[in-house]
Structure 1
Amino acid sequence: MHRHVEWDDPGSDSVMRHFEQQPGSASPPGRGDILSARYQGKVVRVRVEAYVNDTSIGDVVAIIEPDSGTRRRQLGKLCLGDTVRLPDDRRAFEPRGKERPDEPEEAR
């Protein structure tokens, strides 16, 4: 059974919007791929088990606080291991981490 999730709108981090600007560079997700989306402001990673009608079906493998990188086991009713449906239009790129000013540029 799939857990119903109301994914956040990916906005400027939309994977679909990125690929619309670069036609031909996108391929459908495959089994084992890890996709990201946003849920209640957090980053959720999903491991794809199947891809049907522009929707990935898979298990939640991470729930991450975007500012700190802290991982959670649960967010509301969503838990690690839950099987979810992730439509292509809700996929999001991972947020860029904060750059540390003391870190050499080549290490970034």
Structure 2
Amino acid sequence: MTRPLSSIERSIQNRIGWLQEEERKSIESRGEIGRMEFWLRVTRTEISREVKAGRGDAVTAFTLVCRLFKLVLEKRQAGDPRLFDHLMQYADTVLKQHSPRS
């Protein structure tokens, strides 16, 4: 027998459901571009919350991630897909291990 969810657990579950539904709607309306735009909006909101909470290093972290991604794309465009492949593999591994959306 399972116990009822606490209000915090229900809130987390509802948030995950909302994220999944909004991502699905974004994909239906604009495809992968819609998915990307959705996650950029969600991330921007989270970064704003972090800054308001006094954790401005979130801006620095996001900037570094963007710079890394730009570098990886440039390397792939130059004919070396290894960094892109490694980054995609690492991102997939981390999300599978830590994402509550699984």
Does TM, scored on the shorter chain, surpass 0.5? no
TM-score by length of 2: 0.25
Indicate the structure (1 or 2) with the bigger Cα radius of gyration: 2
Higher strand share: 1
Higher helix share: 2
